[in-house]
Structure 1
Amino acid sequence: MQLEKWAERRILILGMTYPSYSRKYVENVCTGGLDSETLQMVRLHPIPHRYMEDGSRFHSFQWISARVMPHQSDPRPESLRVEPDSIRVGEQIPAAQMQERVRLLRKSPSRVRSVEELHALEKSEKRSLGIVQPKEITGIRLRTKTEAERRDWLRIERLVLRQQAMFGTPKPLDFPEADFVVSWVCDDPTCKGHESGLKKWDLHELYRKLKGDPKRDEKTLEMMHKQLNLKEREVFFFLGSFRGRMYQFGLMDTFSAPIERQRSLFDLG
């Protein structure tokens, strides 16, 4: 997708990371989607999701239209600057149409065989986004964040909220108390395995809502194991590189759908 100035684009939202504080935008949510014309992955920011009007808020696998242009301060080619006020929410591909979601992901030119292939594309064409279907999930665990990480979060929070208070009512973010770590092997003989914290917003939201529940960790891990069960589900990882470390890819979000099994002729009737 070649853009040089503001243009209206239609984009299918794939997922969002847990919000983070931004000194420039107050708050930002890393948001990935598929461009309707090419089905290539794009990255949208700034998306101050919690500060947006209800009619502009969107969900995964929902079409939106918005004015976008290449993000001039972001060297990653898939990054688009969006006018938040221009976002118009369209139809959502419902959960009842899981195979339509799967079809679009399979068809996307951003789908690659492995993280290794994604690294090669980063070197050759600065590719910074990709869709990978893992061959094997080798581990799922939870890591409780340290007090030092909490202090760093609160330090940035004080700076950002003090700045925001001059323009409106600030909205504090709950500190994300855990990392949800996934280990996997790609369907590629050169793959030696990968491990990354999953930044998926609704996973962090589940953990936040379970605060005080003695089985909080157990319930969260149980949900992760269910969603990433390769024997029962077709799993897609959405990976993205970091602006300051374009050679490093993180696991931004995931999607999984029940495996569609062909029915026997004896099952019909």
Structure 2
Amino acid sequence: MSKLTVENLSKQYGEVTALEEVSFEIEDEFVVLLGESGAGKSTLLRCVNGLTEPTEGSISLDGEEISGSQTAVGMIFQQHNLVDGVSAYLNALTGSLSRVSMLRSMLQWQATEDKVRALESLETVGLLEESHQKVSQMSGGQQQRVGIARALVQDPRCLLADEPVASLDPSSAETVMTYLRKAAKEHDVTALVSLHQVNVAAHFGDRFIGLRDGQKLFDVERGELTPELIDDLYGSVETVSLAEQASTPENGSREEVVGDIEQVIEA
């Protein structure tokens, strides 16, 4: 299992401070980033992925500094970023692009090892039987699972996910998070996932890092995440709003959802 180290990470966009001296280490954990929109979660993930250059600080994976050309970090996006006209298998196979030329990729001349890895990754997310189905014919949850498989084909040492279930209904969100956690565990990958659904985060996370206004507000283990910390992070109005958003005929009333959050936090 790889160790991700973030030290004194800061990012400025002109006069706007997106991140300010954020530090943490992750190893052999499924860690959830919590915070309001604009708290710095996406900026942090983009810095870890090498897509955004920090203003100050450093990010390393197993002691090696991360750069924009790195391939050791796999990324799962909120909007899937799949090729609609082709199958789940071919989309998963694009995770091997860093290892083959564009010509070989267009002709599907990937190595047998990569083709096997694509099928194994689809099996990990429960989509092996749908491997030849076009992703345009799949549900949003299935498409996101293809995105997970694609990231696994990259053979990363660290797996990032930026609001992977934000656009999904509660049932699909739970399914995607179940497979995402399974993928991280089975492939021995350190995972850092940003979420805004507190109840989903509390159910799946091993550890929780709270960001507010670009600063780290807390870094706690599963048993240490309390309703008071959530109130400090979001405010009582926001916490109620999240519970109301989670309330559906299938999930129960707002009071039941709040109770469920508290039960998970206390477990």
For the aligned pair, the TM-score class normalised by the smaller chain equals under 0.3
Q: What is the TM-score normalised by the length of structure 1?
A: 0.24
Relative contact order higher in (CA < 8 Å, ≥ 6 apart): 2
TM-score, length-scaled by structure 2: 0.24
- Flag the structure with higher helix content: 2
